[in-house]
Structure 1
Amino acid sequence: MINPFVFACITPHGLPILEELSQGNPQLMARTRSGMKQLGTWMREADPETIVVLTPHGLKIDGMFSVTDSSYLSGEMSEQTVAGMVGDRREDKGVTVEFNRAVDRDLAKRIVAAADKAALPVAAANFATAEGPFSTLPLDWGVMVPLYFMPDVPIVVVTPSRRISYEDHIRFGAILGEQVRQSGKRVGLIASCDWSHAHDVNGPYGYHEDAVELDRRVVASLKEDEIEKVMEFAAPMIDHAKPDGIWQALILAGAIPREARNSTFLSYEVPTYFGMMTVAYHAQ
């Protein structure tokens, strides 16, 4: 078995990773920002034609894998967005970072058709018109933050559903990897994952000791290239810790077989209320 991707990675998506959106505190996520810059360098060196991004914050279709099939994707992030995430409802946007990307519809359609043939619940998502400039879906911060560091190439965005079993996330990942291989294209993969969100009593989700334990176990699993171990967390622990990375990580696990995970664990930190990790998966 081989890694079908020219480069893959697990990234976080906290907006202050972008220095422009750090609200005057660029040291806040400096370790993670350094890891993201390294991932971006490796992705550019791998020279992908397309990047597939797995995000928990995209177009959610309950009980289905959502795959972008619009012509374009567009979005923006601002200091106002960062402030709003912690309850500060400022009126001025401040610094704004805008994104516009084309969609690799050929690869998107391949993924959807193969997943549908395998009886997985999947939907191709579009908006407004069948194609052209009005066929544009919104980009979420789970996509835009990692893409900030990556080459400007067409993308495909996949949003999983927590109603779908872990096993089917792995199956979807295997189908994704096979379709990339069959396409003959140079494709990169990003699993956009923040981890436990209950590290800070003053954060929006409060504090729970399970957040520390869950992140500790995820770090160990990723360092050992045993991503599948994230399936072992009990439901109460997930509820207490509030990670959003499990589902995207399992798709990556299905897409890159265990024996093909030539990984480099770069960083882990908890500068605010949620855990963030950067991990690279190199082509062999």
Structure 2
Amino acid sequence: MASSSVVFACITPHGLPILKELAGDEPHLMAKTRASMEKLGQQMRAEEVDVIVVITPHGLRADNQFTIAASSFMEGELSELTVAQMVGNTRLDVGERVHMRRVVDQAFARAIGVASNSASLPMAVINFATQKGVFSTLPLDWGSLIPLSFMPDMPIVVVNSARSRTYQEHIRLGEQIARVATSMGRRIAIIASCDWSHTHDPSGPYGWHPDAAVLDDSVVACISRGDLEELMQFSEEIIENAKPDGIWQALVLAGAVPPSARRPRLLSYERPTYFGMICARML
């Protein structure tokens, strides 16, 4: 499957200061992660990819459903003001901005929606304003925009994970994405956009808990081995304490790239602020 459809797969973070333009007066804060993202972008450019599929936790949401953007375009903008708002700081000026507009592979997105619903996976296929054209534009969230900033400019498909759905359903969704890619002759790259524990810093918005380090250390080990299915073993208590937002997206990738096809390569892990960030290539 992987050789004919999924030709590149990676796990990346989406912290806004990864982009130099949004790092303010601390450009070296996430330099290690930034270097890893640049390397992943170079590696993706070396593959013959038709479309990039981003699995994000921060995009279009629908109660108890996965979502997929099937508009003609997606567009978003982030600024230093956005960074300040996320950590609860007071700031009045916008500062540096990052803007992105990408073409969506509508046919591929709609086909994934049809296949998912046919497989009893609840998928909302989302558009805006018109069926296609310049007005058919949906917002591009930071979970997509940040990793895409390092990748080649090509058509995208953005899928939102759904924590209300089971882990197994996320794996099955990944399987459907790969099957549709094969049936349509698409050579795809998959990005699982994942930040990890958010309770590493007592001054951060979620406070500190020792389970953050415990969970992240385990995640690093699982990803390094390519054992993504092991991410399903964390208890509800440790997830609540550590507050990761990467498990669900990584499991979609796990479904799209079966264990026998994975070639795990951990590029970096760091937590310079309150949340953990992993860069890894799975294929």
TM-score w.r.t. length of structure 1: 0.97
Partner of 1:47: 48
Partner of 2:186: 185
What letter corresponds to residue 176 of structure 2 in structure 1? I
Matches of 1:174 and 1:117 in 2, distance apart?
A: 13
State the superposition RMSD in angstroms. 0.9
Matches of 2:17 and 2:212 in 1, distance apart?
A: 21
Query: Cα offset for 1:8?
Result: 1.1
Q: Is the 8 A contact 2:225 2:264 kept in 1?
A: no
TM-superposition CA deviations, 1:133-171 (whole Å, max 9, x none)? 111100100000000000011100000111100011111
Query: Cα offset for 1:191?
Result: 0.4
Q: What residue ranges of structure 1 are gaps of 5+ in the alignment?
A: none
Secondary structure at 1:6 match in 2? strand
Partner of 2:2: 2
Partner of 1:211: 212
Matches of 1:56 and 1:266 in 2, distance apart?
A: 22
What letter corresponds to residue 2 of structure 2 in structure 1? I
Partner of 2:35: 34
Secondary structure at 1:176 match in 2? helix
Secondary structure at 1:46 match in 2? coil
Secondary structure at 1:47 match in 2? coil
TM-superposition CA deviations, 1:67-124 (whole Å, max 9, x none)? 0011110000101111111112312111101000111011101111111111111110
Matches of 2:27 and 2:87 in 1, distance apart?
A: 18
Matches of 1:83 and 1:178 in 2, distance apart?
A: 41
What letter corresponds to residue 22 of structure 1 in structure 2? A
TM-superposition CA deviations, 1:30-74 (whole Å, max 9, x none)? 110010000000011113121000000000111111000111100
Partner of 2:60: 59
Secondary structure at 2:6 match in 1? coil
Matches of 1:44 and 1:77 in 2, distance apart?
A: 24
Query: Cα offset for 1:281?
Result: 2.4
Matches of 1:181 and 1:9 in 2, distance apart?
A: 19
What letter corresponds to residue 25 of structure 2 in structure 1? G
Identical-pair percentage: 53
Partner of 1:242: 243
Query: Cα offset for 1:234?
Result: 0.5
Matches of 1:217 and 1:30 in 2, distance apart?
A: 23
What letter corresponds to residue 258 of structure 2 in structure 1? P
Query: Cα offset for 1:26?
Result: 1.4
